[in-house]
Amino acid sequence: MPYLQKHVEGLRCWLDLAQEVVVVDSFSRDGTVEYLREHLKHPNITYITHPPGLYASWNHAIAQITAEHVFIATTGDVISRAGIIYLVETAERLNCDVVISKPEFQDQQGRTVEVAWPIDDIIASLGLAESRRLHQLEAVTFAVTHASGAMLGSCASNLFRTSVLKRFPFPNNFGTSGDGAWGLLHAAEVSWGVVPEKFSTFLIHPGNASTLEKRSYTEAPHADEVLHRAVTAWRESGAVTDDELALIHWDKLNAALASYLVYKREFDRHRKASIPWILNPRAWQTRLRREHSLAHLHELKRKALNSLRRLPEATTSPCR
């Protein structure tokens, strides 16, 4: 509720563009639904309820959508009218299943905060000055490189093809990181568009994950395991071939990712220890190994992208 008034004000500037609006509520008791019914106006709006669970609720709401594209307007995050129009135009012009962009970050006092996200590396690595559709293998390469992050970033600065989210719903066994896992699971199966411009605002606020979601996150498989299963499924379905994976040096990328995650998890344990990690020589060693393994992963990323740039034009279609 504390974020709702500004959120609704942000929706009003472009909501007339929407074919339909679906509000999903998980039994709120703070006046949220009552406020929305009074202040959120649209000729085709539906209110549904679903038990608590972020991604299960999203999936339930998306299942009701009939429009070609869906925008997930998470409370507290705002996008401009021009931004919504541009995302839709980009999705249609580039024929993409998902179009990602980076928001501006603000704290609860409205101050701008600098945050580095995977999309920053995508834009810098490809030298993007305008929107572009990713080659399928580019998407896989960036998914591996940023497996501990989230290629999607914030869904409130992205646009999705509705049929794709119905075919590939968000997983709900990764706590509040289901959208990050979605990007790993389907990197090779959907077409990605990247927009370098910013036209949305992401509100940094305390998390409200439930106990169940926190446990789900803790018990979730690690990113390298998720990717291993995903690649196996891609190979079986024909989404990618062994020859295509060889172009981006998949085995080396995957091994580098596994090494980085080992050192990352070990360093995270040191940071949570009762003794400050800066006083622990082993923690410093682990931190150095983590940084070296991350640098190696990015070096392999650059080699993979260079391999794709050398492909003949006829073989570099952006995505199947």
Is a pLDDT exceeding 50 seen at residue 273? yes
Is a pLDDT exceeding 80 seen at residue 1? yes
Task: Report pLDDT for 216.
Answer: 64
Task: Report pLDDT for 205.
Answer: 76
Provide mean pLDDT across the span 262-282: 92
CA angle 150, 118, 53 (to 5 degrees): 20
The edge-to-edge listing of strands for the beta sheet with 112-113 is: 78-79, 200-203, 104-106, 112-113
Element (H, E) at 202: strand 200-203
Element (H, E) at 112: strand 112-113
Q: What value does the CA radius of gyration of the chain take, rounded to a whole number of Å?
A: 20
How far is 288 from 263, CA to CA, in rounded Å? Answer: 9
Is a pLDDT exceeding 90 seen at residue 222? no
* Mode of pairing for the β-strands spanning 159-161 and 69-70: antiparallel
Task: Report pLDDT for 241.
Answer: 95
Select the highest-mean-pLDDT range: 36-40, 52-56, 75-79.
Answer: 36-40
140-154, 203-217, 226-240, 259-273: lowest mean pLDDT where?
A: 203-217
Task: Report pLDDT for 210.
Answer: 66
High-pLDDT (> 90) share of the chain, %: 71
Task: Report pLDDT for 239.
Answer: 94
Task: Report pLDDT for 266.
Answer: 94
Task: Report pLDDT for 224.
Answer: 87
Q: Are 81 and 178 in contact (CB under 8 A)?
A: no
Digit-coded pLDDT (tens) for 128-174: 999 999 999 999 999 999 988 888 988 899 999 999 999 999 998 88
Task: Report pLDDT for 209.
Answer: 63
Residue 41 neighbours by CB under 8 Å, 6+ apart: 15
The model's pTM: 0.91
Q: Are 230 and 184 in contact (CB under 8 A)?
A: yes
Task: Report pLDDT for 43.
Answer: 95
- For helices 281-309 and 118-126, angle between their N-to-C axes, nearest 10 degrees: 40
More confident residue, 220 or 105: 105
Provide mean pLDDT across the span 45-51: 93
| Mean pLDDT across the chain | 90
Give the confidence band of 317 by pLDDT, cuts at 50, 70, 90.
Answer: very low
Give the confidence band of 217 by pLDDT, cuts at 50, 70, 90.
Answer: low
Provide mean pLDDT across the span 77-95: 96
Query: Nearest to residue 159, comparing CAs of 93, 80, 72, 92?
Result: 72
Task: Report pLDDT for 214.
Answer: 62
Q: Are 318 and 96 in contact (CB under 8 A)?
A: no
